[in-house]
Amino acid sequence: MNTFIYNTPTKVFLGPDTEKEVGKIIKEYGYKKVLLHYGGGSIKKTGLYDRVVKSLEEAGLDFVEMGGVSPNPKVSLVRETVALCQKEKVDLILAVGGGSVIDSAKAVGVSAISNIDPWEFSMGRVKPTQTIPVGVILTISASGSEMSDSCVLTDEETMIKKGFNTDVIRPLFAIMNPMLTYSVSPYQTACGTTDIMMHTFERYFTHDQGFEITDNISLALLKTVYQAGKVVMKNPNDYNARANLMWASSLSHNGLTGVGRNYKMVVHALGHAVSGTYDFVHHAAGLSILFPAWAKLAYHSAVDKFAEVAYQVLEVDRSIAPKEAALLGIERLENYFKELGMPTRFSDLGIGTDQFELMANKYSNNGQNAITTIITVDKAKALEIFNLAK
Amino acid sequence: MNTFIYNTPTKVFLGPDTEKEVGKIIKEYGYKKVLLHYGGGSIKKTGLYDRVVKSLEEAGLDFVEMGGVSPNPKVSLVRETVALCQKEKVDLILAVGGGSVIDSAKAVGVSAISNIDPWEFSMGRVKPTQTIPVGVILTISASGSEMSDSCVLTDEETMIKKGFNTDVIRPLFAIMNPMLTYSVSPYQTACGTTDIMMHTFERYFTHDQGFEITDNISLALLKTVYQAGKVVMKNPNDYNARANLMWASSLSHNGLTGVGRNYKMVVHALGHAVSGTYDFVHHAAGLSILFPAWAKLAYHSAVDKFAEVAYQVLEVDRSIAPKEAALLGIERLENYFKELGMPTRFSDLGIGTDQFELMANKYSNNGQNAITTIITVDKAKALEIFNLAK
């Protein structure tokens, strides 16, 4: 196992109506001037916006607001929001939404306090050392950004998408009311479930030995998400299943499932090449297409780990031998993604083979780079994966 | 499931030689004057004391020290240490040791900053609102105090042992080098393993439904500890097994295994009545005697939960029906405790039945109180449990 640092300072409040406490919570921290940051306005339709505003007002907090955060949050809106925070002397940023809104808020926080352009952080030219604290009211279970150290922005002029990671940007608090996710569409729910599972899978498949605790916790999370994912597709208003997914989204990406391991998110890297080529491909859709293909090439190198997923998560009987179980598990996972309504082949999205070479070049920086986890994925292997998933 | 707040701000550094980083870590936080707090002096024999002092000196930190913390840490030493901290203007307390040293440090922290007598907090007459931060170098995997919100002190004049819980006292950081636990004696190692398992068991056995994520994580931890416990009894210097136990000790008591549940630590309460009557009974020894007896009375009320422990942790075959598996699991757990060298009957410690009535009265406040989890344990039930364990 590897030496690790574990740092999850985000305070979580999970339960019905917790969003109504937000004013009280912020007041107890001692903050006074809030930036309310949100997306396309669905929070106004659902009434969440009104509840949040009421809670802030009842706590006697002053606030300004900036909506309009888009999926793949844009650096231009971050810049605009930074200016507003500085002008209004905001001392807490409240992100009401999912991963995009939270990531936007994180970028605003580090830029507004330092007066450094947000893209400098994304490009890795400056490392943030402080932030205006970010609080979250989560509305979708997916990205894990509510407890994570990561932030991804897009520069719409160059269409470059870049992320940075640092403990500084872990949110101060995260308010999670599972009922807020009842209205998430079936497809977005399926994408979220896929995303959560992938955050764990990508940390699980390494050759690190001997730290069983992280393996066992990862399998526990995967099992939970697999089951809860089925339930919410049938009954979107199942409170417990929504709560399981919500808490799993945080634990899958806050560090818990990675400690002691030297992991690299190779399927995510392949997925970035896909969505960087086909803008309409949802992050999770890229993963549900690519992961089974990657797994079919990789399982030989970690039969026992794949077999445990099959037995413990995918309900494969233990009487089946590990190698066979591993393969059966991959098949079941693929079927599971299909049941959720996720694509599992490029053809499901109408994507042909004509850009495979380009995507493989993007992934590998024209054949110069490769990523090694339980197998090495270079340009040739990337092409093999794309072709398996065609 | 229940609404919950989850708050684990303690930053963890786990790996070989991590104690050598302590000076650097404290310096990065910006603290300048350290109180080095420790126990009976074993850290001087092992060389740990010298390594810590060297690291503090190399970082240019000033420090004072107070050793002599005993098991069941005493309020008198806390008072003496508070005076030292105030006189020397200490701004960080470094606890080098196990649960007793950490608990002592926590009490010193809240008292020194507020100038309120530590016993006021223990008796629940005052609630702490701030602390001098506490850092930890952990030397035994057991109590989980390194990430927990709890602190238990003993007043040696009245022999009253009292604890308090608050997020304020969660340590700032915890440095965990599994190698530091190689020299922990077999019996203390067995007690630690028992203690960790019991912290999870006591949170697992509730009637709360529907938050499978916490159940699954609890089972994952129990499985890990059960296996690692076996390994370290055979090979005390197995790094990975020691690391698994160390990380499990923190996760079992930092809140992760309790979220979403309304749990009450009934076997701990019974154990306090035992060790309050027989001073020589180690906390964990009381638990290894009482838990199997409690389980034999309780399993009817939660057959499926006991059966899952049997299948997933205690290696009972899934072909065995749940009720039978549950019973077999309890038997295996009892045998496991025996293999570790833990007592499982009062007679193992030479304790007869003559104080059972007194202990049952202590537990139940002379029959006035009862604790309900999956079963209700009143005075009569407590006597039944004592007799099953005689």
B184: number of Cβ within 10 Å: 22
Determine whether the interchain pair A14/B3 forms a contact, defined as Cβ–Cβ distance below 8 Å.
yes
Q: Give the per-residue pLDDT at B158.
A: 84
Q: What is the distance between the alpha carbons of residues A195 and A245, in angstroms, rounded to a whole number? A: 11
Q: Which residue out of A6, A129, A136, A141 would a mutagenesis test of the B interface target, given it has the greatest number of B Cβ atoms within 10 Å?
A: A6
Chain A CB within 8 Å of residue B5 CB:
yes
Chain A CB within 8 Å of residue B129 CB:
no
- All residues of chain B having their beta carbon less than 8 Å from the beta carbon of residue A251 are 213
Chain A nearest-CA distance from B47, in A, is: 22
In this predicted structure, the answer to whether residue A198 has a pLDDT above a threshold of 90 is yes
Residues above pLDDT 70, as percent of chain A: 100
Residue of A nearest to B259 (CA): A14
The CA distances from residue B388 to A102, B50, B285, B332, B356, in Å, are 55, 49, 16, 17, 11
Chain B CB within 8 Å of residue A259 CB:
yes
Average pLDDT score over chain B: 96
Q: Give the per-residue pLDDT at A144.
A: 96
Determine whether the interchain pair B213/A227 forms a contact, defined as Cβ–Cβ distance below 8 Å.
no
Determine whether the interchain pair B224/A216 forms a contact, defined as Cβ–Cβ distance below 8 Å.
yes
- All residues of chain A having their beta carbon less than 8 Å from the beta carbon of residue B11 are 5-7, 9
* B143-175 residue pLDDT tens: 999 999 999 999 988 878 888 999 999 999 999
Q: What is the distance between the alpha carbons of residues A118 and B121, in angstroms, rounded to a whole number? A: 46
Chain A CB within 8 Å of residue B130 CB:
no
Chain B CB within 8 Å of residue A211 CB:
yes
* B312-355 residue pLDDT tens: 999 999 999 999 999 999 999 999 999 999 999 999 999 999 99
**Continuous segment of H or E residues that includes residue A87:** helix A75-88
Chain B CB within 8 Å of residue A182 CB:
no
Q: Give the per-residue pLDDT at B97.
A: 98
Backbone dihedral angles phi then psi of residue A163, each to the nearest 5 degrees: -125, 160
Q: Which residue out of A29, A213, A225, A238 would a mutagenesis test of the B interface target, given it has the greatest number of B Cβ atoms within 10 Å?
A: A213
Determine whether the interchain pair B210/A239 forms a contact, defined as Cβ–Cβ distance below 8 Å.
yes
The CA distances from residue A145 to A134, A193, A205, A275, A286, in Å, are 11, 14, 22, 20, 19
Sheet bearing B134-138, strands edge to edge: A62-66, A33-38, A92-97, A134-138, A173-176, A4-14, B4-14, B173-176, B134-138, B92-97, B33-38, B62-66
Q: Which domains, and CATH codes, for chain A?
A: 11-180 (3.40.50.1970), 185-388 (1.20.1090.10)
Q: How confident is the model at residue B262 (pLDDT cuts 50, 70, 90)?
A: very high
Chain A CB within 8 Å of residue B224 CB:
yes
In this predicted structure, the answer to whether residue A385 has a pLDDT above a threshold of 90 is yes
Q: Give the per-residue pLDDT at B279.
A: 83
B149 SS3 class: coil
Whether B127 contacts B166, CB under 8 Å? yes
In this predicted structure, the answer to whether residue B99 has a pLDDT above a threshold of 90 is yes
Chain A nearest-CA distance from B164, in A, is: 20
Half-sphere exposure of B119 (CA within 13 A, CB side): 14
Q: What is the distance between the alpha carbons of residues B301 and A224, in angstroms, rounded to a whole number? A: 24
Chain A nearest-CA distance from B218, in A, is: 9
Determine whether the interchain pair A240/B211 forms a contact, defined as Cβ–Cβ distance below 8 Å.
yes
Strand A173-176 relative to strand A4-14, pairing = parallel
In this predicted structure, the answer to whether residue A41 has a pLDDT above a threshold of 90 is no
Determine whether the interchain pair A3/B14 forms a contact, defined as Cβ–Cβ distance below 8 Å.
yes
Rounded-to-5 percentages of helix, strand, coil across chain A: 55, 15, 35
The CA distances from residue B38 to A32, B27, B47, B93, B378, in Å, are 41, 20, 13, 10, 39
Q: Give the per-residue pLDDT at A158.
A: 84
- All residues of chain A having their beta carbon less than 8 Å from the beta carbon of residue B141 are none
Whole-model pTM?
0.96
First to last CA, chain A: 36
Q: Give the per-residue pLDDT at A262.
A: 92
Residue of B nearest to A208 (CA): B240
Residue of A nearest to B1 (CA): A240
Q: What is the distance between the alpha carbons of residues A171 and A106, in angstroms, rounded to a whole number? A: 8
* A292-336 residue pLDDT tens: 999 999 999 999 999 999 999 999 999 999 999 999 999 999 999
The CA distances from residue B40 to A88, B45, B66, B101, in Å, are 56, 10, 10, 10
A246 SS3 class: helix
Q: How confident is the model at residue A72 (pLDDT cuts 50, 70, 90)?
A: confident
Q: Which residue out of A247, A249, A252, A316 would a mutagenesis test of the B interface target, given it has the greatest number of B Cβ atoms within 10 Å?
A: A247
In this predicted structure, the answer to whether residue B72 has a pLDDT above a threshold of 90 is no
A47: number of Cβ within 10 Å: 9
Chain B nearest-CA distance from A246, in A, is: 10
Chain B CB within 8 Å of residue A130 CB:
no
Chain B nearest-CA distance from A292, in A, is: 25
Chain A CB within 8 Å of residue B183 CB:
no
Q: Give the per-residue pLDDT at B162.
A: 86
Q: What is the distance between the alpha carbons of residues A163 and A166, in angstroms, rounded to a whole number? A: 10
Determine whether the interchain pair B221/A213 forms a contact, defined as Cβ–Cβ distance below 8 Å.
yes
Chain A CB within 8 Å of residue B16 CB:
yes
Residue in A160, A158, A146, A159 with CA at minimum distance from that of residue A192: A146
Backbone dihedral angles phi then psi of residue A260, each to the nearest 5 degrees: 85, 0
Q: Token digits for A172?
A: 């101060």
Torsion of CA A274, A279, A285, A289, to 10 degrees: -30
Q: Give the per-residue pLDDT at A57.
A: 98
Helix axes B283-298, B322-340, angle to 10 degrees: 160
Chain B CB within 8 Å of residue A13 CB:
yes
Residue of B nearest to A243 (CA): B211
Chain B CB within 8 Å of residue A18 CB:
yes
Q: Token digits for B146?
A: 């390194």
Q: Where are the alpha helices (DSSP H) in chain B?
A: 22-29, 42-45, 48-58, 75-88, 99-114, 118-122, 186-204, 212-234, 239-251, 266-277, 283-298, 303-312, 322-340, 356-364, 379-388
B237: number of Cβ within 10 Å: 12
Q: What is the distance between the alpha carbons of residues A281 and A287, in angstroms, rounded to a whole number? A: 10
Whether B134 contacts B169, CB under 8 Å? yes
- All residues of chain B having their beta carbon less than 8 Å from the beta carbon of residue A12 are 4-7
Q: Give the per-residue pLDDT at A202.
A: 97
Residues 77-116 of A with CB under 8 A from B: none
In this predicted structure, the answer to whether residue B275 has a pLDDT above a threshold of 90 is no
Whether B100 contacts B71, CB under 8 Å? yes
Residues 315-344 of A with CB under 8 A from B: 318
In this predicted structure, the answer to whether residue A258 has a pLDDT above a threshold of 90 is yes
Chain A nearest-CA distance from B20, in A, is: 14
Chain A nearest-CA distance from B210, in A, is: 5
Q: Give the per-residue pLDDT at A269.
A: 94
In this predicted structure, the answer to whether residue A162 has a pLDDT above a threshold of 90 is no
Q: What is the distance between the alpha carbons of residues B300 and B374, in angstroms, rounded to a whole number? A: 9
- All residues of chain B having their beta carbon less than 8 Å from the beta carbon of residue A1 are 240, 243
Residue in B219, B98, B236 with CA at minimum distance from that of residue A212: B219
- All residues of chain A having their beta carbon less than 8 Å from the beta carbon of residue B244 are 210-213
In this predicted structure, the answer to whether residue A160 has a pLDDT above a threshold of 90 is no
Secondary structure (DSSP) of B289-356: HHHHHHHHHHGGGGHHHHHHHHHHTS---TTS-HHHHHHHHHHHHHHHHHHHT---SGGGGT--STTH
* A352-380 residue pLDDT tens: 999 999 999 999 999 999 999 999 999 99
Whether the ipTM is more than 0.85: the answer is yes
- All residues of chain A having their beta carbon less than 8 Å from the beta carbon of residue B260 are 14, 243, 247
Determine whether the interchain pair B260/A243 forms a contact, defined as Cβ–Cβ distance below 8 Å.
yes
Determine whether the interchain pair B4/A12 forms a contact, defined as Cβ–Cβ distance below 8 Å.
yes
Average pLDDT on B85-99 reads 98
Determine whether the interchain pair A4/B14 forms a contact, defined as Cβ–Cβ distance below 8 Å.
yes
Q: What is the distance between the alpha carbons of residues B107 and B99, in angstroms, rounded to a whole number? A: 12
Strand A371-372 relative to strand B4-14, pairing = unpaired
Residue of A nearest to B208 (CA): A240
